[in-house]
Homo-oligomer: A and B are copies of this chain.
């Protein structure tokens, strides 16, 4: 029985589309939805500013901005769940997306992960975004549903 679905999203159009698909599926399955956003500090900060040179007064506003954005796009999915009488919970963490997705999946004991074929960082030409690829690759028994973008 699928009773808990983990829906990682980075707020990209493709990821939100997959999240909305997951909500439809949850409705049909009468399952609970966990909307996960992983704030990937590496991608946003370390690529532009070397970590050692990064002053706290630069880092903190960026993190705040990323967190606010994450709250906004996860709430969009949460509202959709509420509208459809689906129990949902937002989880926002910080770290490496693949590692965090797997950590939360295990912790929350979800029975399915639904995600888009591509997220924000993926090249359109690749078959799978690196995060989706990473999650499928992980040594876990949790099935992964790939929603095409």
Residues of A bordering B, CB below 8 Å: 1-2, 21, 24-25, 28-29, 112, 117, 127-128, 133, 136-137, 140-148
Contact = CB atoms under 8 A, between A and B. Distances in A.
B142 A148 contact: yes
A127 B137 contact: yes
A29 B145 CA distance: 15
Copy count, this protein chain: 2
A148 B140 contact: yes
Nearest to A145: B145
Contacts of A141: 148
A148 B137 contact: no
A146 B140 CA distance: 12
Given A28-B1, A29-B28, A29-B29, A117 B145 contact: no
Contacts of A112: 145
A38 to B, nearest CB: 20
Nearest to A146: B144
B148 A145 contact: no
The listed residue with most B CB atoms (<10 A of its CB), out of A1, A136, A137, is A136
Contacts of A144: 145-146, 148
A112 B2 CA distance: 15
